[in-house]
């Protein structure tokens, strides 16, 4: 059994003094620690968030991508979380039909007509409905919507898909849709029609679409009606790879790398821009479809907008350290899809030299051999916010260049 | 003197044994005279063998019993033979006072005459010695006093209470200065952070971020160093420079390690 002995008075006094001294030291050190923490908290490294860049803000289950002069809003309502607003200078230009049919085009989304529209405020029953922001700006924001629904006419048919929205600071929005339905259960358009007034005689139509509000736009190019906006129910154009809806303050162009079955159709309050993957087919066999569409917000006329759209349809290759790179149809980023399945052009050294010619802005996805904390791009004569770097992970960086690159120019990208 | 002493002693003995000596104060009784005679006889025996001190004791005992003045003479002789001239002189003089007409009175006078200069010389010498001793003692006392005075002069006056040392205050002031330097760096870093957050382009952002990441650890380090220095100053203020006991440093070296401890005793 251990014995306890009383400390001598001297020892107790020493302990008391030690206690006092230690208490003083502890208090001072705690103060120093708190001060240091406050200092550290106040002096945390800020993210690079220039006004010329993009910013993603989650809003409940939805979210918003804000760029210079525009804003793309993903719905937080109970429907499939496709965009339900596209604001340019504060004005929502996304189409909102006054009395949309249950399988008619409205806002933005997917049609598996005559089943309920798959959109923010469509009638499709969400089975899966998840919005994931993978890239958060300032150069690129990428939001992936994973959705699935179940047909009321056949519970074994559960169409699903992913829609990837990639937004750039210059108002380019690249949308890439993938649709899946592996079920071979036979379904009848008549039985699947969400509108009992419709007879389903038109069969099934599967399409992806954007709609814009008629208000605020005055002309359409190309158009069968001499540039006028198409009347409700009228198809203005089909099988075009680009189009521009012009307004006085801004213009919006569309681009389809694959122009097959594209269409521009007028509505009461909207103009619909879509592409049909299946058109009026009596059968809805198992399918896997994908489609790429791009929107360009422009302020200097439809010519400029269409030029940008044309470059999206027919991208020009660039040379990166002597290797040819092209933009991905999935997101419009040069080097986005690498051979190993990951993103980014794999660099052998911490230096990338970019040459070639583009008509407008562009983005490059790079993967450095070593962890890189800060990046610098240089081009003779260029200063200011002519490029925006964005760190993806320790090694991967996205760089968006505001201005086109011309023949003879070389952009050097390297760690700082 | 020895030749003279025996008849005197015999005379005294005859006086005592014959019981005819005149009493000084009163006649002793017979038994007392017999005892006195015995003491006298014993005294004579000691005297004859030269044991004057014991002889003196016996004579004094006989004198006390018989009051015979001749015994005073014998006592004087004993002192004289024992080389105690002062006592001998006094005894002879006392004898003459008691029996100025005694048969040995002249003898006593001769002894007095002989002893007087001796005693005077003795006393003079004694006086001189006493005076010398007195002077020596006084000199010793003066020397002692002087030594004490000198020693007292050498002793420092009691130290006034030492004012608290200012060193801890200097340490704390240094800590405050360091912390203030940290504050300046904090402001610079804060400004760099603000500029980095508001940077319109990447180059400006990264430049300002580099400045921030350079200044931030300096600011935090200065805060910590300043606080630690102030803490040290506080400890010094309340321990080392305030107490008489200084810090004690203990070092223990063991086989598998060592320990260092520092403590202040209050």
Q: What is the pLDDT of residues B223-240, one digit of tens each?
A: 999 999 998 888 888 777
Query: Residue B235 and residue A42: Cβ atoms within 8 Å?
Result: no
The percentage of residues in chain B with a pLDDT greater than 70, rounded to a whole number, is 78
pLDDT digits (tens, 9 = 90+) for B8-28: 544 454 454 444 444 444 455
Selected residue with higher pLDDT from A118 and A34: A118
Query: Residue A193: its pLDDT value, please?
Result: 87
Query: Residue B265 and residue A17: Cβ atoms within 8 Å?
Result: yes
Structural domain spans, chain B: 2-123, 167-264
DSSP letter string over A13-59? HHHHHHHHHHHHHHHHHHHHHHHHHHHHHHTPPPP---TTS-EEEEE
Question: Distance between CA atoms of B61 and B46, rounded to whole angstroms?
Answer: 14
Question: Distance between CA atoms of B80 and B112, rounded to whole angstroms?
Answer: 11
Query: Residue A48 and residue B202: Cβ atoms within 8 Å?
Result: yes
pLDDT digits (tens, 9 = 90+) for A161-198: 999 999 999 999 999 999 999 988 888 888 888 877 66
Interface of A to B at Cβ within 8 Å reads 10, 13-14, 16-18, 20-21, 24-25, 27-29, 31-33, 35-36, 39-40, 42-52, 374-377, 383-389, 416
Q: A20: distance to nearest CA of chain B, Å?
A: 8
Question: Distance between CA atoms of B150 and A289, rounded to whole angstroms?
Answer: 119
Q: Is the pLDDT at B7 greater than 60, yes or no?
A: no
Query: Residue A15: its pLDDT value, please?
Result: 45
Query: Residue A84: its pLDDT value, please?
Result: 96
Q: Is the pLDDT at A12 greater than 60, yes or no?
A: no
Query: Residue A107: its pLDDT value, please?
Result: 95
Q: Is the pLDDT at A225 greater than 80, yes or no?
A: no
Name the pLDDT band for A35 (thresholds 50, 70, 90): low
Question: Distance between CA atoms of A282 and A138, rounded to whole angstroms?
Answer: 46
Kindly identify which residue of chain A lies nearest to residue B188, measuring between CA atoms: A43
Query: Residue A383 and residue B203: Cβ atoms within 8 Å?
Result: yes
Query: Residue B200 and residue A383: Cβ atoms within 8 Å?
Result: no
* Topology, domain B2-123: 1.25.40
pLDDT digits (tens, 9 = 90+) for A244-253: 999 999 999 9
Judging contacts by C-beta atoms under 8 Å, the chain B residues touching residue A31 are 227
Query: Residue A389 and residue B202: Cβ atoms within 8 Å?
Result: yes
Mean pLDDT score, A98-104: 88
**Which residues neighbour A144 within 8 Å (Cβ) at sequence distance 6 or greater?**
A131, A132, A133, A134, A162, A163, A164, A165
User: Does the beta carbon of B103 lie under 8 angstroms from any beta carbon of chain A?
Assistant: no
Query: Residue B186 and residue A39: Cβ atoms within 8 Å?
Result: yes
Query: Residue A17 and residue B266: Cβ atoms within 8 Å?
Result: yes
Mean pLDDT score, A254-259: 94
Judging contacts by C-beta atoms under 8 Å, the chain A residues touching residue B241 are none
Query: Residue B156: its pLDDT value, please?
Result: 66
Query: Residue A29 and residue B228: Cβ atoms within 8 Å?
Result: yes
Q: Is the pLDDT at A334 greater than 70, yes or no?
A: yes
Average pLDDT value over all residues in chain B: 81
Mean pLDDT score, B162-181: 88
Name the pLDDT band for A6 (thresholds 50, 70, 90): very low
Residues of chain A within CATH 2.70.98.10 domain(s) are 55-312
Query: Residue A35 and residue B227: Cβ atoms within 8 Å?
Result: yes
Q: Is the pLDDT at B131 greater than 60, yes or no?
A: yes
Nearest to A176 by CA among A314, A264, A290, A82: A290
Query: Residue B266 and residue A28: Cβ atoms within 8 Å?
Result: no
The percentage of residues in chain A with a pLDDT greater than 90, rounded to a whole number, is 65
Mean pLDDT score, B146-153: 85
Q: B141: distance to nearest CA of chain A, Å?
A: 46
Name the pLDDT band for A7 (thresholds 50, 70, 90): very low
CB-nearest to A43 from B190, B235, B265 is B190
pLDDT digits (tens, 9 = 90+) for A234-245: 888 889 999 999
CB-nearest to A36 from B224, B234, B235 is B224
pLDDT digits (tens, 9 = 90+) for A375-405: 999 999 888 899 999 999 999 999 999 999 9
Query: Residue A19: its pLDDT value, please?
Result: 55
Query: Residue A25 and residue B227: Cβ atoms within 8 Å?
Result: no
User: Does the beta carbon of B178 lie under 8 angstroms from any beta carbon of chain A?
Assistant: no
Selected residue with higher pLDDT from A14 and A225: A225
Q: Is the pLDDT at B256 greater than 50, yes or no?
A: yes
Task: Write down the pTM of the prediction.
Answer: 0.68
Kindly identify which residue of chain A lies nearest to residue B189, measuring between CA atoms: A43
CATH number belonging to domain A55-312: 2.70.98.10
User: Residue A342 in 3-state DSSP?
Assistant: coil
Q: Is the pLDDT at A124 greater than 70, yes or no?
A: yes
**Which residues neighbour A240 within 8 Å (Cβ) at sequence distance 6 or greater?**
A222, A256, A259, A262, A264
Selected residue with higher pLDDT from A171 and B129: A171
Kindly identify which residue of chain B lies nearest to residue A138, measuring between CA atoms: B202
Angle between helices B30-48 and B69-81 (to 10 degrees): 20
Selected residue with higher pLDDT from B257 and B92: B92
Mean pLDDT score, A48-72: 94
Q: A22: distance to nearest CA of chain B, Å?
A: 8
Query: Residue A118: its pLDDT value, please?
Result: 95
Q: Is the pLDDT at B186 greater than 70, yes or no?
A: yes
Judging contacts by C-beta atoms under 8 Å, the chain B residues touching residue A40 are 216, 220
Beta strands A375-378 and A70-74, pairing class = unpaired
Average pLDDT value over all residues in chain A: 88
Question: Distance between CA atoms of B13 and B26, rounded to whole angstroms?
Answer: 19
């Amino acid at each position: 059994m251990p014995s306890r002995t009383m400390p001598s008075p001297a020892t107790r006094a020493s302990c008391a003094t030690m206690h006092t001294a230690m208490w003083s030291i502890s208090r001072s050190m705690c103060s120093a620690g708190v001060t240091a923490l406050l200092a550290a908290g106040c002096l945390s490294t800020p993210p690079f968030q220039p006004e010329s860049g993009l910013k993603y803000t989650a809003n409940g289950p939805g979210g918003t991508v804000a760029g210079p002069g525009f804003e793309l809003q993903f719905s937080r309502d109970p429907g499939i979380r496709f965009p339900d607003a596209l604001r340019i200078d504060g004005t929502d230009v996304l189409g909102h039909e006054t009395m949309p049919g249950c399988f008619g085009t409205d806002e933005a989304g997917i049609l598996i007509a005559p089943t309920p529209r798959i959109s923010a405020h469509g009638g499709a029953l969400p089975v899966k409905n998840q919005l994931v922001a993978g890239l958060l700006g300032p150069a690129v924001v990428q939001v992936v919507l994973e959705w699935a629904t179940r047909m009321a006419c056949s519970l074994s048919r559960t169409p699903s898909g992913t829609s990837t929205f990639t937004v750039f600071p210059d108002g380019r929005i690249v949308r890439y849709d993938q649709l899946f339905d592996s079920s071979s259960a036979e379904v009848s358009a008549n039985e699947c029609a969400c509108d009992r007034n419709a007879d389903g005689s038109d069969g099934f139509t599967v399409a992806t679409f954007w709609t814009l509000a008629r208000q605020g736009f005055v002309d359409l190019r190309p158009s069968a009606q001499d540039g006028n906006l198409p009347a409700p129910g009228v198809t203005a154009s089909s099988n075009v790879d680009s189009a521009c809806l012009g307004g006085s303050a801004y213009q919006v162009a569309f681009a389809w790398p694959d122009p097959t079955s594209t269409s521009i159709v007028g509505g009461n309050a909207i103009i619909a821009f879509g592409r049909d993957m299946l058109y009026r087919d009596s059968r809805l066999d198992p399918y896997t479809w994908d489609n790429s569409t791009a929107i360009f917000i422009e302020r200097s006329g439809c010519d400029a907008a269409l030029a940008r759209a044309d470059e999206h349809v027919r991208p020009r290759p660039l040379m990166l350290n002597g290797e040819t790179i092209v933009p991905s149809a999935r997101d419009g980023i040069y080097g986005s899809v690498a051979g190993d399945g990951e993103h980014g052009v794999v660099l052998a050294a911490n230096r990338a030299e970019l040459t070639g010619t583009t008509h407008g802005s562009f983005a490059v996805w790079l993967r450095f051999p070593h962890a890189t904390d800060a990046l610098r791009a240089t081009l003779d004569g260029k200063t200011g916010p002519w490029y925006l770097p964005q760190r993806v992970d320790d090694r991967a960086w996205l760089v968006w260049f505001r201005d086109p690159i011309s023949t003879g120019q070389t952009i050097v990208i390297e760690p700082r | 003197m020895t030749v003279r002493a025996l008849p005197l002693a015999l005379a005294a003995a005859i006086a005592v044994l014959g019981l005819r000596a005149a009493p000084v104060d009163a006649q002793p009784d017979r038994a007392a005279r017999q005892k006195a005679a015995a003491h006298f006889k014993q005294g004579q025996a000691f005297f004859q063998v030269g044991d004057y001190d014991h002889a003196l004791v016996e004579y004094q005992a006989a004198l006390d019993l018989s009051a015979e003045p001749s015994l005073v003479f014998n006592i004087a002789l004993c002192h004289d033979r024992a080389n105690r001239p002062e006592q001998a002189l006094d005894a002879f003089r006392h004898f003459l006072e008691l029996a100025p007409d005694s048969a040995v009175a002249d003898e006593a006078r001769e002894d007095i005459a002989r002893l007087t200069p001796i005693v005077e010389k003795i006393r003079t010498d004694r006086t001189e010695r006493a005076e010398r001793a007195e002077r020596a003692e006084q000199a010793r006392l003066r020397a002692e006093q002087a030594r004490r005075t000198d020693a007292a002069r050498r002793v420092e006056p009691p130290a006034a209470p030492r004012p608290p040392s200012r060193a801890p205050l200097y340490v704390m002031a240094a800590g405050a200065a360091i912390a203030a330097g940290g504050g300046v760096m904090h402001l610079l870093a804060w400004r760099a952070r603000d500029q980095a957050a508001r940077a319109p382009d990447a180059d400006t952002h990264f430049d300002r971020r580099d400045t921030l990441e350079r200044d931030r650890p300096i600011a935090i380090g200065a805060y910590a160093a300043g606080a630690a220095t102030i803490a040290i100053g506080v400890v010094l203020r309340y321990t080392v420079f305030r107490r008489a006991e200084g810090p004690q440093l203990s070092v223990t070296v063991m086989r598998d390690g060592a320990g260092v401890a520092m403590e202040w005793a209050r």
